[in-house]
Amino acid sequence: MPTTPAPTKDRSAVRTLLRLWPYVRPVRVRLFTAAVIAVVASCTGLVIPLVLKWMVDGPVADRDSAGVWLGALSLLLLGAAEALLFGLRRWLVARPLSRVEADMRADLYRHLQRLPVAFHDRWASGQLLSRGTTDLMLLRMFLAFPLTFLLVNAVTILVGVTIMLLQDWTLGLVVLGPAIPVVVTCVFFENRYARVARRAQDQVGDLTTVVEESVLGIRIIKGFGRHRSQARAFRDLSAGLRGTELHKARLLATIWAIIVTLPELAIGAALVLGTVQVAIGELSAGTLVAFLSTALALRWPVDSIGFLLAMSQEAATATERYFEVMDAEPEDEGVPGGRAPRDRGFSGRRVSAGDEPAASTRRVSAGEGRAESDGLASAPTSAPASASASASSASAPEGGLRFHGVSFRYPDADPGSPPVLDRVDLHVRAGESMALVGATGSGKTTLTALVPRLHEVTSGWITLDGEDITAMPREELRAKVAVAFEEPTLFSASVGENVLMGAGGDADDGDLERALAVAQAEFVHALPQGTRTQVGEQGLSLSGGQRQRLALARAVVGRPRFLVLDDPLSALDVHTEAAVEAALRRVLADTTALIVAHRPSTVLLADRVALLSGGRITAVGTHHELLRTNAEYAHLMSGDQEADRR
């Protein structure tokens, strides 16, 4: 299970929560107004003890029934005013806080789309989902209640203590006695609760991941009868979360016991002392009633300190988790005027045997025809490049797709480990189709992922028609390059929407029908609502071959200049594959394409073939040339003897 970054030990909850200010600032006026109203409402409640004092020492003592009714009416009006003010506060914060939550969720989703693939490879999806749901809900609750009432309760306690001291300072000091132990307890509680709250929220993310994986992989779970082991894994994680939540409850119960017990003992002591003072005539009964009423009115502001601190710590943890994602560096948008190949000393340099076969270094322009081979039949792949071939390479046009000394190592790989790709040099000429062949794990998929910059090269560079891809905005680059992966991904949308996703919004129904025809995906017209049929989550309502054909249609619908296909026909039957290949040849005639292939039938779609072995291009030529001259290629293709006879 991927772990998320651990919280910093010196984290300040206040500093962490202050990071929410950019989202709160647009609604600060309403929130401030709501806080002022809540303070006024709370202080209105503190006027009630003063009215009680007047009633006891005045109308009650004088047996003035009219005065008693007046006091009762005053108490009723004060209670109604307090209730109305708190209701107004609630109304003021509801709309702006829902906006804050929506804005934060939108920003998180937008940022996730801009983060590199390497980030998503490291993070469990459940951790990201929990940050966009549970954590944001905690933040909205914090802004709606604890943030306001930490201020309101502090002001209420200050005003209430002042009133009690003015009534009788000796009783006031008795009630203030527990203040120091309560503050110490709160500080101790804050540090411990923060760690437990973080652990609980991370465990929620892990649990979300397991649930999501179980739903998406339900066919595997049922097919292999693994429902019991999955249930045990879920139960173990759930038990761990339950234990953490119980730990939180014990901490909260401990602080509540201290915060509630000490003030109650102090109020009891004040009651005894005040009764004695009334008995000996040093204190009026009305003053004692007012004092005790004020002390009781402060019970909720004091008792809620533990609850509010707990919610604040959870909100601080949620903020920390939210900004762990928001602080991740997004993909850069390209460097204007980026690195030209000649600036790196590529032009004119000799291509070593390890970079690309010597026989493949003779380049021709796209106008000379794609059927011409690179002469691999007459030269061994291990021969060094000749000076004339090197010079020819230096002066060759830079059209098409070209890899210049490209090396790649995954960001989280051991620095001492060998790179996945090691100084790859490869030129796919403009209008040419190049098949990329290699053993499993040789780096074919990784190489194709570098073209649309799903990953960034570790060293070297890639050009499209002579322009460094890092100099292009990503939006422009990905408008030029269309991709289709071996594992097709469909979204919970209609068939047409899934296909037209590859057109950037410029395609019409004619383009959709053309793309479906190329991919031999006319089966969609037999679906209940045709191209408007919803395919469901991950497209699992369709077969693997149907999903793969829709993914291929999505790649070609926008008529891209460059096409990158990662074994796009692997899930098709022989007859469908032949039909798709026939239609795809017409598309490839006008497109520069790099095609990962495992079968000779797919290889024969391409004009030339590049063999990737040990992270390097070790041979380039036509299919038949490599069958005759390269033992490794012949071994890879030996699974289908029929292809050799074509």
The reported pLDDT for the residue numbered 571 is: 64
| DSSP three-state, residue 481 | strand
* Residue 383: closest CA among 371, 375, 373, 393: 375
Chain-centroid distance, C-alpha 440:
30
Give 609's pLDDT tier (boundaries 50, 70, 90): very high
* Residue 165: closest CA among 175, 150, 152, 155: 175
The reported pLDDT for the residue numbered 325 is: 92
Structural tokens at position 118: 């390497």
Structural tokens at position 602: 């797919």
DSSP per residue over 318-380, as a string? HHHHHHHHHTSPPPP---TT---GGGGT-TTPPPPTTTS-GGGG----GGG-SS---SGGGS-
Give 483's pLDDT tier (boundaries 50, 70, 90): confident
Task: Report pLDDT digits (tens) over 28-86.
Answer: 888 888 888 888 888 887 888 878 778 777 777 767 777 778 878 888 888 888 888 88
The reported pLDDT for the residue numbered 62 is: 67
The reported pLDDT for the residue numbered 206 is: 86
Structural tokens at position 515: 């793309």
DSSP per residue over 449-462, as a string? HHTTTSS--SEEEE
pLDDT mean across residues, the chain: 78
* Residue 549: closest CA among 490, 596, 470: 490
Give 349's pLDDT tier (boundaries 50, 70, 90): very low
Residue 399 predicted with pLDDT over 90:
no
> Which of the residue ranges 13-17, 150-154, 357-361 would you say has the lowest mean pLDDT?
357-361
Number of helices (H) and strands (E) in the chain: give both, helices first. Answer: 26, 10
Q: Which domains does the chain have, with CATH numbers?
A: 21-326 (1.20.1560.10), 349-384+394-645 (3.40.50.300)
Residues 455-475: what's their mean pLDDT? 88
Backbone φ, ψ for residue 534 (5° rounding): -75, 130
Q: 369-383, 403-417, 422-436 — which one is most confidently predicted on average?
A: 422-436
Q: Which residues contact 120 (CB under 8 A, 6 or more apart)?
A: 112
Structural tokens at position 66: 């009219």
| DSSP three-state, residue 463 | strand
Task: Report pLDDT digits (tens) over 297-329.
Answer: 888 888 787 778 888 888 888 999 999 999 988
More confident call, 537 vs 428: 428
Q: Is 477 exposed, middle or buried (0-12, 13-18, 19+ CB in 10 A)?
A: buried
Residue 142 and residue 287 in contact, taking contact as beta carbons nearer than 8 Å: no
437: β partners: 611
